[in-house]
Amino acid sequence: MGSPFPEDAKLCAALSTFWPAAAPDTTRTFFEVPFSAGSVAPLTDEESGVGPNAVSWDGLVGPHIVQQTAQHITVEYPDYPRADYTRNALEGKLSIATTSKITLEEYKRRIVTMLRCYRAIDRLDNKSDAHIVSFKIVNPGDAELEQAEQRRNVELNGPIYRIAGFNQTTAQNESNVSEPTPTDASKHYVRYQVRENWVVFIGSGNFALMRRKIGDGSQRQSNWRLMDV
């Protein structure tokens, strides 16, 4: 039997901003969460435990790409039913070292950024279909951002967020994601193969830059699109 507080925190955190004062929005940490309506104010990669020396709020390592080929990307996720918050609490892995630094203004910016992102990927009315693999703030000198700005002859104003992810279904309403494969016998982490994915840059102005990658073996990528969202 698990301790009720860590398990309740797990549930509330996974339901977007249900209990923001005590549990941040970890919806994107998991591939599938019961009753989820999409991420509202997501944690960054570092806040999700992704990256060198990153410390997550819940002791888990959030979603991240482990392999990229011409046909697909492979994304690793914690498995929601097996994510053991009680064990992590007993082992001292729960931490507010990074989440305590999120200001009210930053919190509100993330909400607006995700609203605009859902518009850009055409999932505003179906947020649960979209999976956010990466969410982070990038510097103006970021190479990928500069390429996108040069292609569309525009300059985004900061703070600038880079959101990368994929949709559960394609534009043809076909499945875009494989069945999960556990990484080991414990099944605490699982991997999915994804055919099509996207990247969106969003600044403080009205415009966003978006590009899709098509996993058909050709390594094709769509042109960067300038979108008013």
pLDDT at 142 over 90: yes
- Summarize pLDDT for 25-81 with one digit per residue, the tens: 888 999 988 777 789 999 999 999 999 999 898 999 999 999 998 889 999 999 998
Break the chain into its structural domains and give their ranges: 4-228
Q: pTM of the entire structure?
A: 0.90
% of the chain exceeding 90 in pLDDT? 59
**Positive or negative CA dihedral for 66, 91, 39, 160?**
negative
Cβ proximity of 65 and 133 under 8 Å:
yes
Q: Which of 152, 142, 135, 123 lies closest to 199 in space, CA to CA?
A: 135
pLDDT at 21 over 60: no
